[in-house]
A and B are shown apart, each in its own frame.
Chain A
Amino acid sequence: MGEQSPVLEMAGIRKVFPGVVALDGVDFRLFPGEVHALMGENGAGKSTLIKVLTGVYEIDGGEIKLGGAPVRISGPLQAQQAGVSTVYQEVNLCTNLSVAENIFIGREPRKFGRIQWGKMRRRAAELLTRLDLDLDVSAPLSSYSLAIQQMVAIARAIDIEARVLILDEPTSSLDTSEVEQLFRIMRRLKESGVAILFVSHFLDQIYEISDRLTVLRNGQLIGEYKTAEMPQVQLVEKMIGKELAALEDLEDKAQRNRERAAEAKPVLEAKGLGRTGAIAPYDLTIHAGEVVGLAGLLGSGRTELARLLFGADKADQGEIHLDGKPATLRDPQAAMKRGIAFSSENRRTEGIIGDLSVRENIILALQASRGWTRPIPRKKQDEIVDKYIKALQIRPADPERPVRNLSGGNQQKVLLARWLITEPKLLIIDEPTRGIDVGAKAEIQKLVAELSDGGMAVLFVSAELEEVLRLSHKIEVLRDRRLVEELENTAGVDADRIMQTIASGATS
């Protein structure tokens, strides 16, 4: 492979935003038929590099060569014409249009200026069959899951006859089998000579699929390595730039607190709680100072279970006891009043308000619980916000910066801060670490552990089993919208054990 000439070469790329150097002299190359992982923490410059490559940003310095010839990419359309297609983390398709249209829009087959719908649908169906997808191509894209939408985005990208395919965190919303399917497609494309740039926060995935990797840190190139010759720990060190003691530190903590947690009072008890079509009736008890993890595949009902406890969806059967007394949670406001906080999995759409500042975002829930007639004095706001920016190490530590400009991990911290200042008895966090980098992940996990040490009950929802295992005192396993088993997180419980439970669907 090394003998081949690269299809893409970027040399000395520099990109400056007002006040920030996002990329500083970064080199990057991509060979045909390889999967090349771009690694780095949030804010390291990965997204900027990709946006430069796709023509969303123009570079302030450096050179881009495609197939040996220097190019200037001035827009997404141009990038596509040059053979560079991109699939973004958030599916960037139009869900109101049909599957076929989403694949072909802008390149519809035409005759005398008229779109040939029949031909378009046929070609779309053929293309999807090649990717092992069996979809109704004339159905609107919105009728399919995010995972399928992601695959459709890839179908669109490869139909452009891409020489370079950029996959920017395509797996963050996929479950294991869907990831496998994606990897199959990637391998097939690789065989046909497409160069794939792959970004993912899941190290396992990087090691499974990539041939080579490039590490960025703070907008600078750290190096290019062969994946097989780079041990995981070393890679993480290169990304973070310091040794990662935080993670190991956590391991035993869950064990240590188990006895205490079991003796504590139950904060919340759900008895036969359920909602038709969303989650089958379940029993669940959460004690003070306990971390309860929810494990299960995407769509297994993790979020649905949690939403019932917050009153975000209404249960149609069963009851909830809070502090031993029966309670009805008609809506989230009622739940908030009773000391339950819920940090949503969709931080972009349901949590963070991008145009408001860090301060305003943090203060939001507290203000809401006080009612708008009693505004929190500005001085008090600043005090609280400063405290949490320090405590959670939110970067940049500027309370007046619009949250939109923060990286994913820091947005997540802002969201957590918002709920923490309401001092909840029970904190429900849904996928707090999705799409954020290793360093921020560890910090958030550490925070969860500290909160539970401090006596807070936490319901922790995550697609990553390792994370659930590391933090939880007990683990609720879900499958097909049903709580199938409760596991005490003792020494014998590991990812395999949980996978088995999910696979068999019942107590083994």
Chain B
Amino acid sequence: MTTASMTPVTKGPELNKRRRVYKPNAKYIPILATLGLLAIMYITGIANYDNFGDPSVFVNLFRDNAVLLVVAVGMTFVIITGGIDLSVGAVISLTTVLTATLLKGDWPPLVVLPAVLILGALIGAGQGAVIHFFKVEPFIATLAGLFLARGLALFINQQSIPIRNETWSAISDYRIELADGVVTKPNAIIAVLVVIIAAAVLAWTRFGRNVYAIGGSSDSALLMGLPVGRTRIVVYTISGFCAALGGVLYSINSTSGHALQGNGYELDAIAACVIGGVLLTGGAGYVWGTLLGVMVAGLITTIINFQGDLNAAWTRIVVGVLLFVFIVMQRLVTRKAK
């Protein structure tokens, strides 16, 4: 030990190389599995049903699942930090009810829209603040948010409120022709934009990387000098905003508002994230995975519709089975990584 000299070492010690365990893209395994599953389902559909291969079938997946997609993207942020947001379904209902009520009261759409989006974001921020400042479990804090938002929605109106506003109807009826014979609705476009923006934020901004760091270890993130509290609050704010946006899309879709709309969406969103490879313990996952997760759920419904004689409950059954499979797979992948 006494001979340790100051001479610069030209070559790194071999122990670095020896210890290196090379895992080719282990983090992509879940997402690739989902992609494979989606491909198999799609091919099976084409093989068994006429017209399944029609591009509009695929494009309609985005239209039909726009609300879930937007909500699930918000949920993805939360889950990557290792949290959970149970309030999103209730925020959807509150948003639809409030939107319908305000529009019925002849508020201008350009006021209603930002108002409900801001309200959703504020609910999220409030939950985030409670979670951060009072160290409340996200499960509990957002469960309270669920009751609060759903209760408010029911308090405003227990009946279904039709939306007769021209702007809303116009958006609802608007068609966008993507290609010859392939049309979609604004909802789908908005949902896709949300996915793209979210993916960019997570991959290319400091905020996005902080989200992953907190999910990996929030104690470490704190000691590395990262703004853990702020990031966490913003994450729940995003989730609340996405839920409100989902509610707006819902109200456009159904041209009505009802306190039971969006019921159970929080669970669908969580399921989509998990099937898409977002780790429930936090720290890993991609918005693209969530997109695939939503597509899987949507494709199951589509197949059931094509089959015609199947009970709609099969969607839930299949999603349930997939959840089991994917959670076990996550377990195995993370264990291997350890």
Query: In the complex the two chains form, is B209's CB within 8 Å of A101's CB?
Result: yes
Query: In the complex the two chains form, is B20's CB within 8 Å of A113's CB?
Result: no
Query: In the complex the two chains form, is B19's CB within 8 Å of A144's CB?
Result: yes
Q: Is B338 part of the binding interface, using a Cβ–Cβ cutoff of 8 Å?
A: yes
Q: How far is the CA of A139 from the CA of B204 in the complex (A)?
A: 18
A132 contact from B1, B13, B205, B283, Cβ within 8 A:
B13
The residue among A80, A92, A96, A134 with the most chain B CB atoms within 10 A of its own CB is A96
Given contacts A96-B283, A144-B20, A178-B15, contact A115 B209 (CB under 8 A): yes
Q: How far is the CA of A110 from the CA of B21 in the complex (A)?
A: 30
Q: Which residues of B contact A79 (CB under 8 A)?
A: 225
Q: For the complex formed, measure the closest distance between the CB of B218 and the CB atoms of chain A, giving whole angstroms.
A: 9
Q: For the complex formed, measure the closest distance between the CB of B229 and the CB atoms of chain A, giving whole angstroms.
A: 11
B-binding segment of A180-188, A217-225, A365-373, A500-508: A180-188
Query: In the complex the two chains form, is B216's CB within 8 Å of A96's CB?
Result: yes
List CB contacts (< 8 Å) of B298-338 with chain A. 337-338
Q: How far is the CA of A331 from the CA of B194 in the complex (A)?
A: 49
Query: In the complex the two chains form, is A108's CB within 8 Å of B209's CB?
Result: yes
Query: In the complex the two chains form, is B206's CB within 8 Å of A88's CB?
Result: no
Query: In the complex the two chains form, is A96's CB within 8 Å of B284's CB?
Result: yes
Q: Is B219 part of the binding interface, using a Cβ–Cβ cutoff of 8 Å?
A: yes
Given contacts A92-B224, A115-B205, contact A97 B216 (CB under 8 A): yes
Query: In the complex the two chains form, is A115's CB within 8 Å of B20's CB?
Result: no
List CB contacts (< 8 Å) of B193-229 with chain A. 203-206, 209-210, 212-213, 215-217, 219-227
Q: For the complex formed, measure the closest distance between the CB of B79 and the CB atoms of chain A, giving whole angstroms.
A: 13
A-binding segment of B4-12, B54-62, B92-100, B107-115: B4-12
Query: In the complex the two chains form, is A142's CB within 8 Å of B338's CB?
Result: yes
List CB contacts (< 8 Å) of A126-140 with chain B. 132-136, 139-140
Q: Which residues of B contact A181 (CB under 8 A)?
A: 13
Q: Which residues of B contact A145 (CB under 8 A)?
A: 19
Q: How far is the CA of A54 from the CA of B224 in the complex (A)?
A: 11
Q: For the complex formed, measure the closest distance between the CB of A251 and the CB atoms of chain B, giving whole angstroms.
A: 23
Query: In the complex the two chains form, is B226's CB within 8 Å of A86's CB?
Result: no
Query: In the complex the two chains form, is B338's CB within 8 Å of A94's CB?
Result: no
Q: Is B135 part of the binding interface, using a Cβ–Cβ cutoff of 8 Å?
A: no
Q: Is A114 part of the binding interface, using a Cβ–Cβ cutoff of 8 Å?
A: yes
Q: For the complex formed, measure the closest distance between the CB of B146 and the CB atoms of chain A, giving whole angstroms.
A: 28
Q: Is B27 part of the binding interface, using a Cβ–Cβ cutoff of 8 Å?
A: yes
Q: How far is the CA of A299 from the CA of B19 in the complex (A)?
A: 9
Query: In the complex the two chains form, is A86's CB within 8 Å of B206's CB?
Result: no
Hey, what's the 0/1 contact readout for A131-169 against B, CB within 8 Å counting as 1? 011111001101111011000000010000000000000
Q: How far is the CA of A191 from the CA of B8 in the complex (A)?
A: 12
Q: Which residues of A contact B225 (CB under 8 A)?
A: 75-77, 79-80, 106
Q: Is A4 part of the binding interface, using a Cβ–Cβ cutoff of 8 Å?
A: no
B212 contact from A88, A94, A133, A208, Cβ within 8 A:
A94
B204 contact from A105, A115, A132, A187, Cβ within 8 A:
A115
Q: Is A95 part of the binding interface, using a Cβ–Cβ cutoff of 8 Å?
A: yes
A115 contact from B13, B19, B206, B215, Cβ within 8 A:
B206
Q: How far is the CA of A96 from the CA of B13 in the complex (A)?
A: 25
Q: Is A93 part of the binding interface, using a Cβ–Cβ cutoff of 8 Å?
A: yes
Q: For the complex formed, measure the closest distance between the CB of B3 and the CB atoms of chain A, giving whole angstroms.
A: 10
22 contacts between A and B (CB under 8 A): A76-B222, A76-B223, A77-B226, A93-B224, A94-B217, A94-B221, A95-B216, A101-B213, A105-B226, A108-B206, A110-B206, A114-B205, A115-B206, A132-B11, A136-B22, A139-B22, A140-B337, A143-B20, A144-B21, A156-B224, A187-B6, A299-B19
Top 7 nearest A-B pairs by Cβ distance? A94-B216, A77-B225, A96-B216, A96-B283, A134-B12, A92-B220, A145-B19
Chain A residues proximal to chain B, CB less than 8 Å: 54, 56, 75-77, 79-80, 86, 88, 92-97, 101, 105-106, 108, 110, 113-115, 117, 132-136, 139-140, 142-145, 147-148, 156, 177-178, 180-181, 183-184, 187, 191, 204, 208, 299
